């Protein structure tokens, strides 16, 4: 078993702009979201991270009042979404870029949305300009590429000049230029003091965009805190060890409190650096064939973490010792 | 008013309402032209005969109305709608109202176009609208289309899928009602209360608008025991109850 992650860290702050408490969504016998509590602060980009199927989109839909939670509660600035007056002026969201009528022009798509929240029609042209769709404003959205649809979705999120923005996997299917653009946009929006909550299944993407992270796996909260902290912990060091006296060495390492994982004649040791392992091997009289420190890649670490949530889910009783 | 404007923008910024309006007009007037154009002594042109084809347009209207909802589910814009207007009752009532008003207008255009075309085809026939029954038979097509559209919107909200909603509506409209009367003993009693049979009663009443033409030479008369006024109220009531059920379900379900 890989090194265990410390139990979820929930900082004590109360009063985030988005506040979820015990949020739960059950579809038949599956728990898509399981007693999820987190908060999102203004003026920062908060990443909502988890593998596909972890419950990110379901959570986003519950924030927007589209899906009803089975239990628990989520509020925006202390209010339920459905109690917001002209909600698009408070919360803008891009959940799914494909949500448009293919026969309707980009401009008309934005026109009806603007009208529904009494947003002046000139704002439609403004956001079209902002996302660079002015030249195709009168074209039917059915012929748009994925990148153009993402831009249209962002335009509709920005229509009401909202202080809270939700983006669900906004970079999916975009080219590098588009990804760069969205990253800059989100950071600029946060710098203006807005609350930006963006989901992704890629830690590497979030590590470049988000200052804070809410990480979930199998609908459960794994981590909430700063991105920096998360990466530090996620990529902590392990050492690969091969030796003909594997069993003795393993016993010695375990006795010293290191976390050891054996796989096909190789030990992966964490909680002890290579110097200490080398000395211990010498003291034990074990010959070393390999002693290589490695820093896990972000994605690898992330998979281990979320994979662990799965193991927890299955009722693994293994204790979770602090390893850093 | 805002919500009505929203639904108006949505409806008219796609092409399907225009195509449906044209289809309703062409099918209905085309059928009328065949009925009235081929009139003779045995089958004289009457006010009622100018409207025999109204159920053609009715079917098209119900397709239009169902699509107005189901395409929103198909393309996800219903979620955008509920996101913009979290009060689902208000949003769906606005949509229903706009679709019903459009259907009313299409119904009047179709009915008077059929009647006017008949005047041209049979100038010497007595097609003047000189009784309440005559007027209801022509002008009543609009309200019937409107409430049929409400039913179709309700079915669209409940079923969500275009193909499912449309087949349900058309099969019901074309087959189920008339098949009910084939059930021995109780069939006729049930049929008396089937909504489209009752709607037909509103339009044709006791057959006064078909005066001069033998009943067996016309479209089958409605078997409803209601007066035309109550018949319309009953038809509207069925539509509104269905809409109420649909909206209650949309409020509870995940979008």
Dump pLDDT digits (tens) for A223-255.
899 988 888 777 667 888 898 888 888 888 888
Q: What percent of chain A has pLDDT over 90?
A: 53
Interface contact B255, partner A, CB < 8 A: yes
Cβ pair B254:A102 closer than 8 A: no
Min CA distance, B81 vs chain A (Å)? Answer: 8
Q: What residues of chain A have any CB closer than 8 angstroms to a CB in chain B?
A: 61, 64-68, 81-84, 87-88, 93, 95-96, 98-105, 108-109, 111-113, 115-118, 156
Any chain A CB within 8 A of the CB of B9? yes
- Provide the domain limits for residue B78: 2-252
Q: Do B9 and A111 touch (CB under 8 A)?
A: yes
pLDDT, position A13: 42
Give B145 to chain A, closest Cα distance, Å: 25
B11-60 pLDDT tens trace: 999 988 899 999 999 999 999 999 998 888 888 889 999 999 999 999 99
Under 8 Å CB-to-CB from B148, ≥6 apart: which residues?
B58, B61, B62, B65, B103, B196, B199, B239
CA quadruple A287, A289, A294, A300: dihedral, nearest 10: -110
Question: Under CATH, domain A18-233 is a member of which superfamily?
Answer: P-loop containing nucleotide triphosphate hydrolases (3.40.50.300)
Q: Is B83 on the interface with A (CB under 8 A)?
A: yes
Please give the pLDDT value at position A9.
41
CA of B29, closest CA in chain A: separation in Å? 28
Cβ B79–A95 below 8 Å, yes or no?
Answer: yes
Asked if B161 reaches chain A (Cβ–Cβ under 8 Å), the answer is no
**B80/A contact by beta carbon, under 8 A:** yes
* Arithmetic mean of pLDDT over chain A: 85
Mean pLDDT of A161-185: 91
pLDDT at residue B185 tops 80: yes
Distance CA A202, CA A213 (A): 12
Residues of B in contact with A98 (CB under 8 A): 75-76
The residues of chain A that CATH labels 3.30.70.790 are 236-295
Cβ of A93 within 8 Å of Cβ of B83? The answer is yes
pLDDT digits (tens, 9 = 90+) for B135-171: 999 999 999 999 999 999 999 999 999 999 999 999 9
Residue closest to B58 by CA, chosen among B116, B22, B103: B103
Q: Indicate yes or no: CB of A104 within 8 angstroms of CB of B16.
A: no
Please, which contacts does B76-81 make with residues 24 or more away whose CB atoms are closer than 8 Å? B76/A96, B76/A98, B76/A99, B76/A100, B77/A99, B77/A100, B77/A101, B77/B10, B78/B255, B79/A61, B79/A66, B79/A95, B79/A96, B79/A99, B79/B255, B80/A99, B80/A113, B80/A156, B81/A116
For helices B54-74 and B162-171, give the axis angle rounded to 10 degrees: 160
**Using CB atoms, which residue from B72, B76, B82 is nearest to A96?**
B76
Q: Chain B residue closest to A107 (CA)?
A: B13
How sure is the predictor about A307, in pLDDT bands with cuts at 50, 70 and 90? low
Between A289 and A14, the more confident residue is: A289
Q: Report percent pLDDT > 70 for chain B.
A: 98
Residue A61 with chain B: CB contacts under 8 Å: 79, 254-255
Average pLDDT over residues A20-27: 94
Q: For chain A, what is the HEC assignment?
A: CCCCCCCCCCCCCCCCCEEEEEEEEEECCEEEEEEEEEEECCCCEEEEECCCCCCHHHHHHHHCCCCCCCEEEEEECCECHHHCCCHHHCEEEECCCCCCCCCCEHHHHHHHHHHHCCCCHHHHHHHHHHCCCHHHCCCEHHHCCHHHHHHHHHHHHHCCCCCEEEEECCCCCCCHHHHHHHHHHHHHHHHCCCEEEEEECCHHHHHHHCCEEEEEECCEEEEEEEHHHHHHHHCCEEEEEECCCHHHHHHHHHHCCCEEEEECCEEEEECCCHHHHHHHHHHHCCCCCEEEEEECCHHHHHHHHHHHHHHHHCCCCCCCCCCC
pLDDT at A297: 64
pLDDT of residue B240: 98
Task: Report the domain count for chain B.
Answer: 1
From chain B, the residues in CB contact with A67 under 8 A are: 254-255
Check if the beta carbon of residue A27 is closer than 8 Å to that of residue A52. Answer: no
Q: Residues A133-161: pLDDT tens digits?
A: 999 999 999 999 988 999 999 999 999 99
The whole-chain average pLDDT of chain B stands at 92
As its CATH architecture, domain A236-295 has 2-Layer Sandwich (3.30)
Q: Report the distance separating Cα B149 and Cα B21, nearest Å.
A: 13
CB-based burial label for A318 (10 Å; 0-12, 13-18, 19+)? exposed
Per-residue pLDDT, A71: 95
Residues B89/B246, Cβ–Cβ less than 8 Å: no
The mean pLDDT of A34-52, rounded to a whole number, is 94
Q: Do A82 and B2 touch (CB under 8 A)?
A: no
């Amino acid at each position: 078993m890989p090194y265990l992650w410390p139990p979820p860290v929930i900082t004590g702050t109360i009063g985030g702009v988005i506040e979820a408490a015990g949020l739960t969504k059950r579809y038949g016998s599956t728990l898509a979201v399981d007693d999820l509590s987190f908060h999102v602060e203004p003026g920062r980009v908060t990443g909502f991270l988890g593998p596909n199927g972890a419950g990110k989109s379901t959570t986003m839909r519950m924030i927007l009042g589209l899906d009803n939670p089975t239990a628990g509660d989520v509020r925006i600035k202390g209010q339920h979404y459905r109690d917001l007056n002209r909600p698009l002026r408070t919360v803008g969201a891009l959940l799914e870029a494909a949500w448009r009528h293919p026969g309707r022009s980009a401009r008309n798509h934005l026109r009806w949305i603007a009208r529904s929240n009494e947003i002046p029609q000139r704002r439609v042209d403004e956001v079209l300009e902002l996302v660079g769709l002015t030249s195709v404003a009168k074209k039917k959205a059915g012929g748009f590429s994925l990148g153009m649809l993402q831009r249209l979705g962002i335009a509709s999120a920005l229509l009401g000049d909202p202080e809270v923005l939700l983006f669900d996997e906004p970079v999916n299917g975009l080219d590098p230029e588009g990804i760069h653009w969205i990253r800059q946009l989100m950071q600029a929006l946060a710098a203006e003091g807005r609350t930006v909550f963006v989901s992704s299944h890629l830690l590497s993407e979030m590590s470049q965009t988000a200052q804070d992270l809410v990480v979930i796996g199998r609908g459960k909260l794994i981590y909430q805190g700063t991105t920096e902290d998360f990466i530090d912990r996620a990529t902590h060091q392990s050492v690969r060890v091969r030796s003909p006296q594997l069993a003795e060495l393993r016993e010695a390492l375990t006795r010293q409190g290191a976390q050891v994982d054996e796989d096909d004649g190789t030990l992966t040791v964490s909680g002890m650096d290579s110097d200490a392992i080398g000395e211990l091997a010498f003291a034990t009289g074990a010959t070393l064939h390999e002693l290589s420190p490695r820093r896990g890649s972000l994605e690898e670490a992330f998979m281990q973490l979320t994979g662990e949530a799965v193991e927890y889910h299955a009722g693994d009783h293994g204790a979770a010792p602090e390893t850093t | 008013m805002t919500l009505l404007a929203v639904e108006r923008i949505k409806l008219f910024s796609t092409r399907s309402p225009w195509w449906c309006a044209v289809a309703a007009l062409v099918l209905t007037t085309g059928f009328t032209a065949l009925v009235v154009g081929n009139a003779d002594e045995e089958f004289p042109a009457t006010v009622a005969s100018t409207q025999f084809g109204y159920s053609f347009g009715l079917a098209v209207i119900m397709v239009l109305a169902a699509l107005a909802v189901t395409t929103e589910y198909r393309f996800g814009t219903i979620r955008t709608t509920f996101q913009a207007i979290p009060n689902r009752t208000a949003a769906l009532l606005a949509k229903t109202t706009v679709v019903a008003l459009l259907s009313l207008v299409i119904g009047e255009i179709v009915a008077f176009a059929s009647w006017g075309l008949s005047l041209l085809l049979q100038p010497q026939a007595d097609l003047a609208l000189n009784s309440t029954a005559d007027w209801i038979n022509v002008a009543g097509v609009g309200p019937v289309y409107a409430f049929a559209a409400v039913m179709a919107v309700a079915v669209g909200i409940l079923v969500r899928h275009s193909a499912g909603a449309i087949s349900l509506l058309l099969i019901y409209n074309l087959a189920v009602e008339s098949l009910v009367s084939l059930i021995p003993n109780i069939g006729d009693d049930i049929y008396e209360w089937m909504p489209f049979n009752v709607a037909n009663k509103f339009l044709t009443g006791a057959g006064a608008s078909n005066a001069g033409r033998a009943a067996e030479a016309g479209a089958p008369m409605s078997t409803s025991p209601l007066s035309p006024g109550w018949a319309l109220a009953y038809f509207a009531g069925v539509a509104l109850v269905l809409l109420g059920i649909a909206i209650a379900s949309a409020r509870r379900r995940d979008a």
